[in-house]
Amino acid sequence: MSDHSGDKGASIFTPVLLVGCIIVLVGFAIRASFGVFQIPIQDEFGWPRAEFSLAIAIQNLAWGFGAPLFGAFSEKLGDRKAIVLGAILYSLGLVLTTGAETAFEVQFYEVLVGFGIAGTGFGVILAVIGRASAPEHRAMSMAIATASGSAGQIVGPTVAVYLLESMSWQSVFIIFAVSILAVLLLLPFMQAPGRASKEEIEESLGEILRIAMKDPSYMMIFVGFFSCGYQLAFITAHFPALITEMSAPIDPAGWCGDLGIETTAALGGFAISVIGAANIVGTLMAGWAGKRFGKKWLLSGIYAGRSIAAAWFILTPVSANSVLIFSFAMGFLWLATVPLTSGLVAHIYGVRYMATLYGIVFFSHQMGSFVGVYLGGVLYDMYGSYTTVWWVGIAVGVFSSLIHLPVREEPRLGNNTTGIGNA
Please write the tens of the pLDDT for every residue from 252-278: 778 887 888 888 878 887 887 788 789
- What is the mean pLDDT of the segment spanning 32-46? 83
- What is the mean pLDDT of the segment spanning 288-303? 90
Please write the tens of the pLDDT for every residue from 301-321: 999 999 999 999 999 988 888
> Where does the pLDDT of residue 10 fall: very low under 50, low under 70, confident under 90, or very high at 90 and above?
low
Structure-model confidence comparison of residues 134 and 184, the more confident one: 184
Q: What pLDDT score was predicted for residue 22?
A: 94
Q: Domain range holding 401?
A: 15-194+204-422
Does any domain span residue 8? no
* Length, in residues, of the chain: 423
How far apart (Å, rounded) are the C-alpha atoms in residues 178 and 175?
A: 5
Query: Which amino acid is residue 380, in one-letter code?
Result: Y
Q: Work out the mean pLDDT of the chain and round it to a whole number.
A: 83
Q: What pLDDT score was predicted for residue 315?
A: 93
CATH code, 142:
1.20.1250.20
- What is the mean pLDDT of the segment spanning 350-376? 84
Please write the tens of the pLDDT for every residue from 115-161: 999 999 888 888 888 777 777 777 788 889 888 987 887 788 889 98
User: Could you tell me if 116 and 89 are in contact, meaning their C-beta atoms sit under 8 angstroms apart?
Assistant: yes
Does any domain span residue 6? no
Does any domain span residue 52? yes
User: What percentage of the chain exceeds 90 in pLDDT?
Assistant: 28
> Where does the pLDDT of residue 192 fall: very low under 50, low under 70, confident under 90, or very high at 90 and above?
low
CA 102 to each of CA 52, 57, 98, 99: distance values in angstroms, whole numbers, following the listed order: 10, 16, 11, 9
> Where does the pLDDT of residue 113 fall: very low under 50, low under 70, confident under 90, or very high at 90 and above?
very high
- What is the mean pLDDT of the segment spanning 281-287? 89
Q: How far is CA 311 from the centre of its chain?
A: 22
Task: Say yes or no to pLDDT of 193 above 80.
Answer: no
Q: What pLDDT score was predicted for residue 4?
A: 46
- What is the mean pLDDT of the segment spanning 9-36? 86
Q: Best-predicted range by mean pLDDT among 50-59, 183-192, 316-325?
A: 316-325
Does any domain span residue 133? yes
Q: What pLDDT score was predicted for residue 417?
A: 38
What are the helix (H) ranges across 78-137? 79-98, 103-120, 122-132
Q: What pLDDT score was predicted for residue 205?
A: 67
Task: Say yes or no to pLDDT of 198 above 80.
Answer: no
Task: Say yes or no to pLDDT of 229 above 90.
Answer: no
Q: What pLDDT score was predicted for residue 194?
A: 56
Task: Say yes or no to pLDDT of 208 above 80.
Answer: no
- What is the mean pLDDT of the segment spanning 105-118? 93
In 3-state terms, what secondary structure has residue 54? helix
CA angle 233, 239, 240 (to 5 degrees): 125
Does any domain span residue 1? no
CA atoms within 13 A on the CB side of 330: 28
| 265 class by beta-carbon count within 10 Å (0-12 exposed, 13-18 middle, 19+ buried) | buried
Q: How many domains does the chain have?
A: 1
How far apart (Å, rounded) are the C-alpha atoms in residues 109 and 106?
A: 5
Does any domain span residue 64? yes
**Lowest-confidence pick of 48-57, 216-225, 338-347:** 48-57
Number of H helices, E strands in the chain: 17, 0
**Lowest-confidence pick of 76-85, 201-210, 246-255, 298-307:** 201-210
pTM given for the model: 0.75
